[in-house]
Amino acid sequence: MLSEIMPHLSSPVSLLLLGVAIAIACGFEFINGFHDTANSVATVIYTRSLKPWKAVAWSGVCNFVGVFLGGISVAMGIVKLLPVDLVASSNMSLSLITVFSMLLASCIWNLATWFVGIPASSSHALIGGILGVGVGNAISKGLPASAGINWVKTGEVGLSLLVSPLLGFGVAALAIYILKRVLKDGAIQSRPINDAPPPFLVRLALVGTSTGVSIAHGSNDGQKGVGLVMLILIAVLPGKFALSPQVNPAQIQQAESALQSIELHVSKFASLPAPKVSNHFLPSAYADNLAAAQNSIVETSKLAHTIRGEMLMIQEGQEMKSESKLALRKGIYNLESKLSALEKAGYPVSEIKPLRKTLTNMVEYAPLWVIVMIAISLGLGTMIGWKRVVETLGEKIGTSGLTYAQGTVSQAVAMSMIGVSALAGVPVSTTHCLSSGIAGSMVASGSSVQKSTVRSIGLAWVLTLPVTLGLSCGLFLILKAVFIA
pLDDT in tens, 425-469: 777 777 778 878 888 887 777 665 566 666 766 777 778 888 999
pLDDT at 98: 87
Residues 24 and 154 in one domain: yes
Establish how many alpha carbons lie within 13 A of residue 144's alpha carbon, considering only the half-sphere containing its beta carbon.
3
99, with CB counted inside 10 A (0-12, 13-18, 19+), is: buried
Q: Per the domain annotation, does 295 fall within a domain?
A: yes
Residues 206 and 75 in one domain: yes
Q: Per the domain annotation, does 428 fall within a domain?
A: no
Q: Per the domain annotation, does 395 fall within a domain?
A: no
Alpha carbon distance 485, 482 (integer Å):
7
Residues 255 and 141 in one domain: no
**Domain span holding position 120:** 2-158+200-239+366-389+450-483
Alpha carbon distance 264, 122 (integer Å):
43
Residues 248 and 290 in one domain: yes
Q: Per the domain annotation, does 166 fall within a domain?
A: no
Model confidence at 396: pLDDT above 50 = no
C-alpha 184: how far from chain center: 40
Domain boundary at 342, 360, 378, which? 360
pLDDT at 60: 85
Residues 220 and 267 in one domain: no
Residues 232 and 348 in one domain: no
Are 345 and 275 spatial neighbours (Cβ–Cβ below 8 Å)? yes
Residues 287 and 218 in one domain: no
Q: Per the domain annotation, does 135 fall within a domain?
A: yes
184-238 pLDDT, tens digit each: 666 677 777 777 788 888 889 889 998 998 898 888 888 888 888 888 888 778 7
Residues 228 and 268 in one domain: no
Count structural domains, the chain: 2
Residues 212 and 345 in one domain: no
pLDDT at 280: 41
Are 361 and 108 spatial neighbours (Cβ–Cβ below 8 Å)? no
Are 308 and 259 spatial neighbours (Cβ–Cβ below 8 Å)? yes
Residues 223 and 273 in one domain: no
Alpha carbon distance 28, 126 (integer Å):
9
pLDDT at 471: 95
Q: Per the domain annotation, does 170 fall within a domain?
A: no
Residues 83 and 113 in one domain: yes
Residues 22 and 78 in one domain: yes
Alpha carbon distance 138, 83 (integer Å):
9
Model confidence at 91: pLDDT above 80 = no
What's this model's pTM, rounded to 2 decimal places?
A: 0.79
Cα dihedral angle (297, 298, 300, 304), rounded to 10 degrees? 130
236, with CB counted inside 10 A (0-12, 13-18, 19+), is: buried
Q: Per the domain annotation, does 117 fall within a domain?
A: yes
Binned at pLDDT 50, 70 and 90, residue 95 comes out as confident
Alpha carbon distance 97, 36 (integer Å):
26
Q: Per the domain annotation, does 440 fall within a domain?
A: no
Model confidence at 265: pLDDT above 80 = yes
pLDDT at 225: 85
Task: Tell me which of 60-64, 98-102, 324-328 is least confident.
Answer: 324-328
**CB count, 10 Å around CB of 140?**
16
Sign for the CA dihedral angle at 197, 201, 206, 212 comes to: positive
